[in-house]
Structure 1
Amino acid sequence: MNQYLFKDKRVMYLYITLFIIMALIGCSSHQTKIAASSNVSFLDMVIFKIGKADSMLLMAGGKTVLIDSGEDKDGDKVVKYLEENNIDKIDYMILTHFDKDHVGGVDVIINSVDVGQIITPNYKRSSKQYREYKNAITANHKTPKALINTYTFSAGTAEFTVYPPQKNKYKEENDYSLVVSVKHGNNSLLLTADAVEERLDELMGHSDIEHTFLKVPHHGKFEANTLEFFSMVKPQFAVITSARKRNKTVKALEKLGTKVFVTRNGNVYVKSDGYSMSMQQ
């Protein structure tokens, strides 16, 4: 009798052991699925407080994208931010156009940091800042990509599309601006540099320019087609790079339900997880 009980207990223990092993395998598999599904590539962006000038840094998938460099004095500020955040390489540098408030600090940055691909519009300019930029790329053996056609690249799960101007000549030099669209999951960012009326008309000719986030064109200057442009973009969030309040532009955006930030109040920080977007200043 005891012998049979012993055999039954051994069978019972065997079943219990098998049950525990199967349960552990199931839990392990479930945890692996959770870990895989939660492995989201974030997109982070900082838009620098540098007065009426543009410079913003985007980070995704271990890559960095710098768009513009502010004025001459701002190059050191950007380099300092990179050093403080242990960023030793810029994978892509996009210079939207060659105005001094967008290209002024670029020589300091190129001479201080490892820069990969440089992307520019396809035109030249006669200015001190442009000459300093040309000297820096020559000294560092860089060959910029001067865009004629749309250019795309990725950083992690963020997809960048750079739109060059469609004409060879414009009345306003600001209309030579490159415009950058960034898609990150359900979120999207439209970075419009200093585009003014003609260039905004070109953008509105695209089939769909609705974006979650808008870097407001030309430091918030109000154009004849600004309201139409805003109504087509329908941004949930917007940033104006300006030392001024730009009340008319802010009110027009707020009327659409957009949450607006102005860099006169400090750096603006943007985070996207591909589903939602958050901003702080």
Structure 2
Amino acid sequence: MRKVLGIIASLMILLSLLPMNQASASTYTQAEKLVTEAEQWAGALKWEISLEYRKTKYPNDPITYPNMDIYNNTKEPMLAAEKLLPSLSSIKRNELRKRIDNNVKVHYLRAQAYIDAITSGRKILDKTNYYNKLYVNSPISDPTVQAYHDLSSEIRKQAVLLYRVYGQSTRDAILEKYKTPGETARQNTIYTITAKMEFDKLKEMKRNGELLEDQIDVVSALIEKVENQNAKTLLESNLIKLLIGDVNNLHVDFIDVGQGDSIFVRMPNGTTMLVDGGDQSSGMDVVNHLKNEGLEKIDVVVATHPDPEHIGGLIDVLNEFPVGKVIDSGKTDTSDTYLEYKSLIDQKNIPFEVAEEGDLIDLDPTVHVEVLNSGANSSNMNDASVVLMVSHGEVDYLLTGDAGVGVEERLIQEYDLDAEVLKVGDHGSSTSTSQAFLEAVNPYFGILSYGEGNQSGDPQSEVYNRLINYGVDLISTIHGSIEMSDDGDYIYIDQHDTNNPAPEADISLTGVNLDTEVVTLKNNGSEDVNMTDWKLVSVEGNQTYDFPDDFILKAGSSVNVTSGGNAVNNPPTTLKWTDAYIWNNSGDSAQLYNSQGELVSEF
């Protein structure tokens, strides 16, 4: 047996020494050619990741990506050669494998580690730059604190790839360029961020009625260590305000301009911003609202897009007030309204900017105002609307202009849209406010800015119902301008009637079915009627149904009010009173009262 094995081994050795057949020789030639090509490119790639070489070739910025053509020209023949190796004899295979490993792959893998490090480093640098930008403008805002934590997380996540780079000098240079700025930013601001976090904890303790003395000492000690004078002043001011209960509020007014938008924002530090101005007939309404607020100038005017019901009223505003800057979507129009608006900006030499996504409108360090959408994103006028997120402490306002569902879908993918207040897009039209968008924003309050009886039929029933069914508390400007303010935690709301006489409603009871518990009402007039504060009364049962806030009964339409076992809620055609049985089958009558408490119909 031992003799047989010896013979077999000898035969195998002899076979390996025999000349290759023609096919095998051709494969070897092809593989050897590829290896040679890869070796030539690998020699160049070796220098592409050499720090000393890069300092000579790229003196202004040596720590950048290598020449990717050289990298790919090394990679492709190397991989192609490796695919051919299994078909070669062991001697030839080992010969070429050794050349690949020693002359090609070592440089390729080092280049790959270098490229990965640059990619990771850029991610850290992007986070660093974003954090520094926020810190300069609003050092103690919640977005700044979040950006600090995001930067810290990114450094931890990417650092492992930075340390895999071959060569101490190259590795140190990459760390110096990408990791050091982030670490420096964190170290220089750690007391500010920590003081802000401890201050927030102090606010929560005060709200809960806990003892504050020890926590006040913690916050005060941290503030003393803050080097940035702006941040230190803000923290000291906020601490004093918290302790004496005098926290400056952010004010956001949704002005009644009929079928249009106009939003006035006064920052805690007194600076101001006006977003849109309604149509031209509403211009003086906006002016008067601002004058009643004691306004003498406007720091920033934002025109979301050139539709007349958004920029028309700005003509009166620009004529009445000094304006520090105008920002708009960059979209143009041929309408007389737009041309007059643009001409005024030029005549008065008002600084003008086109909004870009990601821009910050810096008016108050405690308020974060960010552009989430602008004209560059769409050729459609509405979808080019400047969309703003205004954030103050724990309270966010999402101002959407007339941006449609397509824009909403993009915003859902790219931003955290959670906001307590949503200015409902496009006056409540079905072109905006999708279910997915509503779920992403998850608002407590929805602001409907529209004109009663408008030709567009806004707010459209599907959007209105979607908001109601989601549990959004709707407030409409048809009842007057809406004035909101917040202290960073709580929202306070007031509404002032514009005293415009409403057309007399013509609604009547057209049927009461005592058996099925269905009462039918019809709007016989030519105007839609908002039935907020209207009441339906069962006379015998002495039961009262209050119509939902901002329920609109369209002109010529009917609605059924249901109760009992078959009660359903399907606005705007059917409303649910209660599962209980209301109507007396032996005989009962229904009465309908308007918002002034006047009996308008009986059946």
Task: Return the alpha-carbon distance in structure 1 between the equivalents of residues 366 and 377 of structure 2.
Answer: 33
Is residue 166–residue 202 contact of structure 1 (8 Å, CA) maintained in 2? no
Q: What's the CA shift for 1:279?
A: 2.0
The reply to whether residue 155 of structure 1 matches residue 364 of structure 2 is yes
Q: Which has the higher helix share?
A: 2
The counterpart of 2:443, out of the listed 232, 235, 242, is 235
- List runs of 5+ in structure 2 lacking aligned partners: 1-212, 218-236, 453-457, 496-603
Q: Which amino acid aligns with 1:165?
A: S
String of CA shifts for 1:175-226, please: whole Å, max 9, x gaps.
1100000110011010000001221122112231111110000001123861
Task: Return the alpha-carbon distance in structure 1 between the equivalents of residues 256 and 249 of structure 2.
Answer: 23
Q: What's the CA shift for 1:231?
A: 1.1
Q: What's the CA shift for 1:280?
A: 2.8
Q: Which amino acid aligns with 2:466?
A: A
Task: Return the alpha-carbon distance in structure 1 between the equivalents of residues 359 and 342 of structure 2.
Answer: 22
Paired positions, count: 252
String of CA shifts for 1:240-263, please: whole Å, max 9, x gaps.
111246243233112222111111
The counterpart of 2:394, out of the listed 186, 199, 219, is 186
Task: Return the alpha-carbon distance in structure 2 between the equivalents of residues 138 and 225 of structure 1.
Answer: 35
Q: Which moved more, 1:37-46 or 1:233-242?
A: 37-46
Q: Which amino acid aligns with 1:155?
A: D
Q: What's the CA shift for 1:36?
A: 5.1
Change (3 A) 1:225 1:70: closer
Is residue 446–residue 475 contact of structure 2 (8 Å, CA) maintained in 1? yes
Is residue 426–residue 432 contact of structure 2 (8 Å, CA) maintained in 1? no
Is residue 397–residue 421 contact of structure 2 (8 Å, CA) maintained in 1? yes
Is residue 369–residue 389 contact of structure 2 (8 Å, CA) maintained in 1? yes
The counterpart of 1:53, out of the listed 246, 257, 260, is 260
Change (3 A) 1:35 1:53: closer
Is residue 41–residue 156 contact of structure 1 (8 Å, CA) maintained in 2? no
The reply to whether residue 262 of structure 1 matches residue 476 of structure 2 is yes
Is residue 46–residue 268 contact of structure 1 (8 Å, CA) maintained in 2? yes
Secondary structure of 1:188's counterpart equals: strand
The match for 1:177 is 385
Q: What's the CA shift for 1:162?
A: 1.7
Is residue 62–residue 156 contact of structure 1 (8 Å, CA) maintained in 2? no
Q: What is the aligned-residue RMSD (CA, Å)?
A: 2.3
Is residue 238–residue 259 contact of structure 1 (8 Å, CA) maintained in 2? yes
Secondary structure of 2:463's counterpart equals: helix
Is residue 299–residue 324 contact of structure 2 (8 Å, CA) maintained in 1? yes
Task: Return the alpha-carbon distance in structure 2 between the equivalents of residues 103 and 198 of structure 1.
Answer: 23
The reply to whether residue 91 of structure 1 matches residue 333 of structure 2 is no
Change (3 A) 1:198 1:166: farther
Q: What's the CA shift for 1:35?
A: 4.5
Where do 1:118-267 residues align within 5 Å? 118-152=326-360, 153-155=362-364, 157-165=366-374, 167=376, 169-170=378-379, 172-223=380-431, 226-244=434-452, 246=459, 247-267=461-481
TM-score normalised over the length of structure 2: 0.40
Is residue 420–residue 445 contact of structure 2 (8 Å, CA) maintained in 1? yes
Task: Return the alpha-carbon distance in structure 1 between the equivalents of residues 304 and 322 of structure 2.
Answer: 20
Secondary structure of 1:101's counterpart equals: helix
Q: Which moved more, 1:46-55 or 1:159-168?
A: 159-168
Task: Return the alpha-carbon distance in structure 2 between the equivalents of residues 130 and 51 of structure 1.
Answer: 19
Task: Return the alpha-carbon distance in structure 2 between the equivalents of residues 181 and 44 of structure 1.
Answer: 14
Is residue 404–residue 432 contact of structure 2 (8 Å, CA) maintained in 1? no
Task: Return the alpha-carbon distance in structure 2 between the equivalents of residues 74 and 166 of structure 1.
Answer: 25
- List runs of 5+ in structure 1 lacking aligned partners: 1-25
TM-score normalised over the length of structure 1: 0.83
Q: Which amino acid aligns with 1:174?
A: N
Secondary structure of 1:238's counterpart equals: strand
Q: Which has the higher strand share?
A: 1
Change (3 A) 1:112 1:167: closer
